[in-house]
Amino acid sequence: MAQKCDICGKRRVVGFKVAHSNRKTKRRWLPNLHKMKVLVDGKVKRINVCTKCLKTGKVEKYVRI
C-alpha cells in the first residue's frame, strides 16, 4: 500500500532523528491515513484518505442505507 493520500497527495516525509549528542539516524514521518469507501463521481470507491481531508470535508463518506 502506498503511503499517500489520494485526495491531497500528502505522503511520507524523510529526515533525521537527532540525538542530544547531535548523532543523526534516518527516520520517516507517515501520514495518518484511513482506507475508506468514498463517493467519487457518483460511484463508490475505496481510497486512502488522510484525516485532514476527512475533517475539512473534502470527501463524502459512503453510507449504505
Give the per-residue pLDDT at 65.
Answer: 80
Asked if the model's pLDDT at residue 1 lies above 70, the reply is no
Which residues face 26 on adjacent strands?
16
Read off the pLDDT band of 64 (50, 70, 90).
confident
Task: Give how many domains the chain has, as a whole number.
Answer: 1
Q: CATH no. for residue 27?
A: 2.30.170.40
pTM: 0.77
Mean confidence (pLDDT) of the chain: 93
Please give the residue range of the domain that contains residue 45: 1-65
53 contacts 9 by C-beta, under 8 angstroms:
no
Q: Pairing state of beta strands 13-18 and 24-29?
A: antiparallel
Give the per-residue pLDDT at 31.
Answer: 96
SS3 of 10, please? coil
Asked if the model's pLDDT at residue 35 lies above 90, the reply is yes
